[in-house]
């Protein structure tokens, strides 16, 4: 009964009535939450915000750790995945955060610009979509298919990567649930699901800044970094 009560509170935090605009999840209100929310999370997790200088730092952290990703000022590929280049952008990573004892968010990236949350990105939370849909309605479905090459036993193969997307458009704020099947460079099939909520204008401006800053580094570094970044063009 207690879990059902908290589950009800979670749904109410998403919206006060059905079919309402998307804002975010729980305390992570995109376009509203200030960077102070990271200290609130640290307090809840009984920890402090740590600085991650490399990707290895993130995966060596205890469950329930929160990190700020050190800004990439020199094009170093050892910097954490999604480490920002621009001075007005800050990115935090939480490996596990439980909402109301019901929904577990994993591999959460919180992107702030000028101190305001502009993107929440996480693995697809198990059991989250049905209540989300009950509040915000069904998303608009689409799919993307692209071909690429990979190598297996000395042979180059052409394979297809497929991405299925459900998107919720609330004007300034959008949300997307993405499920994709793709092949790595060794022709091994992979599967990944994630969910994100983002402020369209602010995230677009942040991406433009990131691209401009990356362009200052050598072409080889640019190409390597682009391969690391997730395609945000839905």
**pLDDT of 218 over the 80 cut:** no
How open is the CA angle 145-206-195, to the nearest 5 degrees? Answer: 45
Domain ranges of the chain: 2-140+196-228
pLDDT the model gives residue 219: 54
pTM, two decimals, is: 0.80
Confidence of residue 144 (pLDDT cuts 50, 70, 90): very high
Over pLDDT 70: what percentage of the chain?
Answer: 84
pLDDT, tens only, 73-123 = 877 777 888 889 899 999 999 988 888 777 888 899 999 999 999 999 999
β-bridge partners, 69: 52
- Cα–Cα distance, 15 to 137 (Å, whole number): 12
Higher pLDDT, 230 or 121: 121
At 8-41, the pLDDT tens digits run: 445 545 444 446 788 888 889 999 999 999 999 8
pLDDT digits (tens, 9 = 90+) for 181-204: 998 888 889 999 999 999 999 999
Asked whether the predicted pLDDT for residue 234 surpasses 50, the reply is no
| CA-wise closest residue to 65 among 35, 94, 106, 43 | 94
Q: Percentage of the chain surpassing pLDDT 90? A: 34
With residues binned 3-state (H G I as helix, E B as strand, rest as coil), the percentages for the chain, rounded to 5, are: 25, 40, 35
Helix axes 219-228, 200-214, angle to 10 degrees: 150
Residue showing tokens 């994993």: 106
């Amino acid at each position: 009964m207690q879990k059902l009560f908290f589950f009800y509170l979670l749904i109410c935090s998403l919206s006060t009535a059905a079919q309402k605009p998307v804002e975010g999840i729980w305390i992570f209100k995109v376009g509203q939450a200030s960077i102070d929310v990271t200290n609130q999370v640290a307090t809840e997790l009984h920890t402090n915000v740590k600085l991650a200088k490399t990707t290895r730092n993130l995966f060596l952290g205890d469950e329930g750790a929160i990190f700020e990703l050190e800004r990439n000022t020199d094009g170093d590929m050892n910097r954490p995945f999604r480490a920002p280049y621009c001075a007005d952008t800050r990115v935090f990573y939480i490996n596990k955060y439980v909402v109301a004892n019901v929904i577990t968010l994993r591999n959460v990236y919180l992107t702030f610009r000028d101190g305001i949350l502009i993107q929440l990105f996480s693995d697809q939370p198990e059991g989250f979509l049905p209540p989300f849909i009950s509040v915000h309605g069904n998303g608009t479905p689409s799919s993307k298919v692209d071909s690429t090459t990979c190598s297996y036993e000395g042979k180059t193969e052409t394979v297809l990567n497929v991405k299925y997307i459900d998107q919720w458009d609330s004007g300034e704020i959008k949300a997307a649930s993405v499920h994709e099947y793709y092949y790595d460079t060794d022709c091994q099939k992979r599967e990944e699901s994630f969910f994100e909520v983002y402020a369209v204008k602010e995230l677009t401006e942040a991406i433009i800044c990131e691209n401009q800053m990356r362009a200052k580094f050598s072409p080889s570094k640019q190409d390597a970094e682009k391969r690391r970044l997730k395609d945000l063009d839905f």
